[in-house]
């Protein structure tokens, strides 16, 4: 993979704004190399990161007014599964489209208004909720995690793979000169391995890997904003690993062997060093640069090539900004640019 971002900025999905066009323009202005569409969870419950990708899943029920989302597992499920899998077999991407009611920012980005801006971008980014997080968060009507229903688990993986493939197609249409970057967001990976979560490492790696390999993107990414067993993420073969470097720098860099192997094969690390909350109002870009350099120091001390790490690194907020205030979100975007520019100046 010929991808050397050299501290390029990358977005992690959501913004707190409710005007899709304004939010999309802000995202394009803030991220000059990797264009991305904004998720807008305050605009509608349907833009919640789980509801957003639920359209067309067998058995899914969405109550937007009640802000509820669940799988209805009853006698009607078999017929829905049959129709669903026929669409998968047929490769019917349109069956897995994400409509404007569920992703206003995606449709703003791809609708033609920003064609001029997209024409010059080398990369365009999409995002999908990952299968482990989706399956552990969205339950059946009896509050049983859908990941524990074998039929639903496989349907979730297939649906999210096809959602990624549909998105990749639409992003290529909107930005024909750009490479498509597709992220699968897996915040729930922080719970994998706990006594309360019964998911095997093989299932975690296999389900995420299937999505990454089938989404049709040029470059793939996995985002987790909590601490997790990062060896599982690296084992998926993903191209970009994103983590919350502001909160979890020390446990992440402890995976020096996996990070070194990932960098050695051309993979990238997206350092989410810019806080997503009120801390962003009091921290300086120099402090965040020092934090990044500290992580680099640890990895270099364990044998990871510092220059290769710099070539393969990206800078981003630690997580999506949809739950933040507009002031905090916009400050986070500005700080991301400052950190990116300063790191590039150090390693030019």
Position 61 in a domain: yes
Position 80 in a domain: yes
Residue 139: phi and psi, rounded to 5, are -105, 175
Query: Are the beta carbons of 315 and 339 closer than 8 angstroms?
Result: yes
Average pLDDT, the chain: 96
Domain ranges, residue 257:
8-346
Query: Are the beta carbons of 329 and 286 closer than 8 angstroms?
Result: no
What are the start-end ranges of the E strands in the chain? 8-9, 34-36, 60-63, 68-71, 123-129, 179-185, 219-224, 240-243, 268-274, 313-317
247-272 residue pLDDT tens: 999 999 999 999 999 999 999 999 99
46-86 residue pLDDT tens: 999 999 999 999 999 999 999 999 999 999 999 999 999 99
Position 227 in a domain: yes
Task: Please state the pTM of the whole predicted model.
Answer: 0.97
Position 228 in a domain: yes
d(CA 91, CA 178): 24
Structurally, the chain folds into a number of domains equal to: 1
Position 3 in a domain: no
Query: Are the beta carbons of 33 and 8 closer than 8 angstroms?
Result: yes
Position 69 in a domain: yes
Position 1 in a domain: no
Query: Are the beta carbons of 197 and 136 closer than 8 angstroms?
Result: yes
Q: Which CATH number belongs to the domain containing residue 329 in this structure?
A: 3.20.20.210
d(CA 302, CA 281): 33
Position 327 in a domain: yes
């Amino acid at each position: 993979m010929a991808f050397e971002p050299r501290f390029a900025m990358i977005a992690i999905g959501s913004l707190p704004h409710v005007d899709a066009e304004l939010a999309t323009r802000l995202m394009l202005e803030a991220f000059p190399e990797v264009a991305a569409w904004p998720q807008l969870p305050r605009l509608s419950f349907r833009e919640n990161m789980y509801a957003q990708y639920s359209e067309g899943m067998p058995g899914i029920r969405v109550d937007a007014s009640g802000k509820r989302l669940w799988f209805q597992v009853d006698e009607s499920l078999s017929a829905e599964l049959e129709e669903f899998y026929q669409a998968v077999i047929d490769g019917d991407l349109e069956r897995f489209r994400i409509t404007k009611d569920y992703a206003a920012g995606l449709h703003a980005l791809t609708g033609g208004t920003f064609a001029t801006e997209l024409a010059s971008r080398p990369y365009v980014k999409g995002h999908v909720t990952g299968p482990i997080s989706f399956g552990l968060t969205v339950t059946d009507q009896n509050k049983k995690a859908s990941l524990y229903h074998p039929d639903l688990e496989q349907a979730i993986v297939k649906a999210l793979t096809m959602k990624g493939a549909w998105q990749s197609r639409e992003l290529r249409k909107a930005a024909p000169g750009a490479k498509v970057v597709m992220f699968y967001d897996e915040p729930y990976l922080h719970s994998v391995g706990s006594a309360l979560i019964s998911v095997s490492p093989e299932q975690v790696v296999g389900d995420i890997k299937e999505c990454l390999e089938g989404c049709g993107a040029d470059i793939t990414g996995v985002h987790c904003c909590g601490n997790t067993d990062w060896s599982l993420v690296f084992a998926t073969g993903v191209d970009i690993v994103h983590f919350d470097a502001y909160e979890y720098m020390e446990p992440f860099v402890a995976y020096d062997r996996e990070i070194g192997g990932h960098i050695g094969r051309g993979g990238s690390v997206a350092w989410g060093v810019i806080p997503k909350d009120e801390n962003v109002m009091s921290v300086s870009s120099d402090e965040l640069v020092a934090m990044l350099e500290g992580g680099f120091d640890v990895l270099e001390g364990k044998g990871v090539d510092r220059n290769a790490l710099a070539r393969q690194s990206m800078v981003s907020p630690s997580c999506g900004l949809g739950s933040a205030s507009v002031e905090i979100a916009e400050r986070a975007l500005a700080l991301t640019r400052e950190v990116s520019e300063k790191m590039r100046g150090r390693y030019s």
